[in-house]
């Protein structure tokens, strides 16, 4: 049976907007050059307020990059004696939050409190509701956190997120060792998140690219190859309508 595909829309998101002024300038330059479609704001980033002003000045569509893994909480009540922070008074980190979650050390009520505080601060900084909301370092698809995350999106009227499952990831031979193992774990968590998001009426692009092209792996050839793998998948009968490319410098 031959499938008729719907027109495909490419959405390129600049993550970590608000992390630091230098990164913000680069992201704005990309938007003005037509290289990216929108941005995701880290409201606890060092330059969150100025980044929000830049988005407003240049009419950049903006969403929330919810952060539970890096920096300090937005909610002042969680700065001390919170399960979300470690001995240094900051979030546990990309791997630390996953370890704490496996050990059952995270209080989901505090996760909810922080996510709601970040939505509130986003509204204060930008004057609008987030157009989309996803998780810094993909924390939004982690077990238990995914359920709280979906509830917060539904309650705050945020209809869009991302599901980081990348077609052709296993073919990307430039990713090796522990990094590939981590990405496969992200994909597994993301697949287990699908029903949770569906049950809350949340939507996401049909195809995602981003795991294979972060940090030093973000080269023109790698991006082209990842896009080729995705385009090849369009020959299936699912008729995808939107492809999202996550533009993120992973440090």
d(CA 226, CA 37): 18
Return phi, psi of residue 199, to 5°. -65, -20
Residue 45: partners with Cβ closer than 8 Å, 6 or more residues away: 16, 17, 18, 19, 20, 51, 67, 71
Number of H-type helices and E-type strands within the chain: 8, 6
Catalytic residue among 15, 24, 134, 206: 15
Q: Assess whether 15 carries a catalytic annotation.
A: yes
Tokens, residue 206? 């049909």
CB atoms within 10 A of CB 26: 12
Residue 103: partners with Cβ closer than 8 Å, 6 or more residues away: none
Among 246, 172, 179, smallest CA distance to 209 is for 246
d(CA 55, CA 62): 7
Place of tokens 């939507």: 203
> Would you name the residues annotated as active-site residues?
15
């Amino acid at each position: 049976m031959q499938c008729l595909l719907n027109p495909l829309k490419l959405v390129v998101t600049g993550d970590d907007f608000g992390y630091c002024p230098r990164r913000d300038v680069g992201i704005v330059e990309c938007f003005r050059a037509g290289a990216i479609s929108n941005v995701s704001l880290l409201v606890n980033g060092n330059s969150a307020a100025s980044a929000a002003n830049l988005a407003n000045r240049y009419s950049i569509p903006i969403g929330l990059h919810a952060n539970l893994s890096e920096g300090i909480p937005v909610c002042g009540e969680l700065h001390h004696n919170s399960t979300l922070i470690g001995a240094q008074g900051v979030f546990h980190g990309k791997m630390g939050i996953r370890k704490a979650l496996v050990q059952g050390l995270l209080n989901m009520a505090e996760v909810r409190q922080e996510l709601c505080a970040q939505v509130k601060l986003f509204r204060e900084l930008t004057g609008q509701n987030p157009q989309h909301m996803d998780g810094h370092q993909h924390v939004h698809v982690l077990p238990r956190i995914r359920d709280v995350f979906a509830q917060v999106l539904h309650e705050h009227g945020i209809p869009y997120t991302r599901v980081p499952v990348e077609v052709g990831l296993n073919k990307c031979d430039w990713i090796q060792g522990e990094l590939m193992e981590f990405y496969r774990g992200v994909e597994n968590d993301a697949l287990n998140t699908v029903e949770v998001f569906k049950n809350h009426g949340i939507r996401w692009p049909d195809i995602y690219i981003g795991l294979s092209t972060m940090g030093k792996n973000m080269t023109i050839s790698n991006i082209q190859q990842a896009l080729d793998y995705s385009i090849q998948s369009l020959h299936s009968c699912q008729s995808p309508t939107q492809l999202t490319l996550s533009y993120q410098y992973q440090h």
